[in-house]
Amino acid sequence: MIKTVKAFKPETVWMGRLEKGADIINSLEAFCAEKGIKAGWVNLLGALDRATISYYDQEKHQYFHRPLHGEYEIVSCGGNISLKDGKPFAHLHIVLSDAEYQAWGGHLWPGTVSVFAAEFSIFELKGETASDELSRCPDAATGLALW
């Protein structure tokens, strides 16, 4: 059964790069706040030397974190932008590869990244009416903030 459905249309595609040393989530959320982006889809590629990825234990309703330090390629990083507590919230998952071509993946944790180089695209979405928003609220069944 589908719980939440809202219609959105593509508005603007924003493309750019993050500065060396930047945090991905904090930077994208600040950019979205500056541009008034309330909903969107994010793609990002590049490299970094520090990040924390997380796994959500569905029974314990708890994130478990794995800090990574060293040189990593961002093989894939994607997610979405919506609102949480009235502010842009970036929900991103990332796959990284190390020097041994081993892949690491999970939920990207904010405030933990040091970008070497990163290029992003944000596909801004607009609701059918000006008041349409995609907001996150606590969900008792999962312990997560969901649409």
Residue 2 pLDDT level (bands cut at 50, 70, 90): confident
Q: How far is residue 126 CA from its own chain's centroid?
A: 18
Q: Tokens in use for 3?
A: 């719980």
At residue 129, the pLDDT reads 78
How much is the mean pLDDT over the chain?
96
Look at domain 9-146 and name its CATH class.
alpha beta
pLDDT, tens digit, for every residue of 20-52?
Answer: 999 999 999 999 999 999 999 999 999 999 999
103-124: pLDDT as tens digits? 999 999 999 999 999 999 999 9
The model's pTM: 0.94
What integer pLDDT is reported at residue 72 of this predicted model? 98
Residue 74 scores a pLDDT above 80: yes
Greatest CA separation for the chain: 49
Provide the residue ranges of all domains of the chain, joining segments of one domain with +: 9-146
Write the CB contacts of 88 (distance below 8 Å, at least 6 apart in sequence).
Answer: 28, 29, 32, 33, 37, 38, 81, 82
